[in-house]
Structure 1
C-alpha cells in the first residue's frame, strides 16, 4: 500500500484523484491517451495486462519478435519464469519493499493479486458508471476496442 494516498487501503480515492487529474506525474488518462496515439507505428508495441494473463508465452514471443530477438527455448523459459506475477511480487527490485516505510505499508505490500477484473470488488456500480463516462470523454478519438474490459 502507498501510505501517502488519502486512504491508502482503498483504491477508490486514488481513482477519484485520477478523474480529477490531481496525482503525482499527471493523469493516467492523459498518459495512456498520448501513448496510444502511437499505436500502429513501426516502433511502437502495445501489450495489455489482460493479454499477459491470457497467454504470457505468446505475449513474450510477440515482444521478442518486435525487438528482433529470437529466443532459444531455454531463454524463453527463463523469461517466463522471471515475469510471472509471483516472481515479480517476490522481487525486491519490483515490489517496492525497498521503499522507506514512511511511503509504503510493507505488511500489505504494493502488489496485490495479479488478476484482471478485481476492480469489481472495489467499485460500486455508480463508481463503475462514472469511470466509464470519464473514460469515454478522456479517451475520445481512440479506437473503442483498445481495452478488453467488460
Structure 2
C-alpha cells in the first residue's frame, strides 16, 4: 500500500486522512489539563500511555484493566481515534506520533503537558520492522537492509526519526514538555514514574507509585488484553505474524543488524545528529 504525503510527511491512508491531519494541526484545541504522550513510532508509546493512565488513576489499575488503551489515550491523528479524543471528558490523555510541525498549533498557547519518549533509533527501527509484518494493509517491510535504508531516508509513515526528534528537542526549553528515554524507563521505572508525577504535578504516595510500577511492567501489560492490542481485529492485524509486546528490551538491534549495517546506521546517525544539543544514553 502506498503512503500519501501531508506536508511532505508520509502517512498510511488506512489510518489517517489529509482532512484529519489538517483538522488536528489547525483546529484541534488542546485544553490546559490535557496530557499528551508523544513518540516516534515504536519508542515506548504504549508503555508510556499505560504509565500515564495509571498515574491519572492514582495507581488504581481498574481503568487500565477495563478500558482499551486506544479509548483511554487515543491517537489524535488517526481518523477513528480522533472521534474518541473529541468525546472524552477532561482531563484528557492523548497520544500522537506527529512531528512538531504538524502538532496542533493551539499547543503554543496552552498549558497542556507533553511527555516525549525517545528510544535508540536502531531499536525503534527493528521493533517497527517486526511490527509492520502484522498489519494486513501495510506492505511487507522486505529485507532488513531494504527497510533500514527506507528508515534512514525517512520513507516510512511519520517520516524521519532524525527530523522528528530534532523538531521536538528544539522545544525543550518550554516548561510544559518533559523528555524521557525508553532506556531510562527500563533502567529505573520507579524513579522515572516519580519524575513524571513531579512534572505533571501529581502527588502519589509510595503505595500508589508501587502500583503504577507493577501494573506498567512488561509482563502485566503483555497479559492485559486492554493494553496489548490483542483485540485488534484479524482483518486488520495478523496476530500470528507479529505482536505489539514483543520483547520489551533494549539492544535487540544487535540480533538483527550486521556489522556493516550497524556502521552504516552510525554514519547516517552522526551526520544527522551532530549539532543536537542533548545527549542520549545510546550515544
What's the TM-score, normalizing by structure 1?
A: 0.84
* 2:253 equivalent to 1:123: no
Q: How does 1:1-150 map to 2 (within 5 A)?
A: 1-3=131-133, 4-7=138-141, 13-107=146-240, 108-143=242-277, 145=279, 147-149=280-282
Kept in 1, the 8 Å contact 2:132–2:141? The answer is: no
SS at match of 1:142: coil
Which runs of 5 or more residues in structure 2 are unaligned?
1-130
- The answer as to whether partners of 1:89 and 1:95 remain within 8 angstroms in 2 is yes
Higher RCO (Cα < 8 Å, 6 or more apart): 1
Instruction: Let me know the Cα RMSD of the aligned residues.
Output: 2.2
Q: Is the 8 A contact 2:189 2:213 kept in 1?
A: yes
Check 1:2–1:98 CA distance in 2 against 1; reply closer, same or farther (3 A cut): farther
Q: TM-score, length-normalised on structure 2?
A: 0.47
Residue by residue over 1:88-115, the C-alpha shift from the partner in whole angstroms, topping out at 9 and shown as x without a partner, is: 2233344232223344331341222111
Q: Is the 8 A contact 1:12 1:122 kept in 2?
A: no
* Mapped contact 1:2–1:104 kept (Cα < 8 A): no
User: How many Å apart are 1:71 and its aligned residue?
Assistant: 0.6
For structure 1, the 5+ residue unaligned runs are none
Would the aligned equivalents of 1:2 and 1:105 in 2 still touch at CA under 8 Å? no
Worse-superposed segment, 45-54 or 33-42: 33-42
Residues 112 and 36 (structure 1), Cα distance of their counterparts in 2 relative to 1, 3 Å cut? same
- The 1-side partners of 2:226 and 2:151 are apart by 26
Q: How many residues matched?
A: 148
Deviations 1:39-75 (A, max 9, x none): 2432111111111111110000000011111111221
SS in 2 for 1:45: strand
Contact 1:6 1:13 in 2 (8 A): no
Q: Aligned partners of 2:224 and 2:231: how far apart in 1?
A: 10
Cα distance change on mapping 1:37 and 1:109 into 2, 3 Å: same
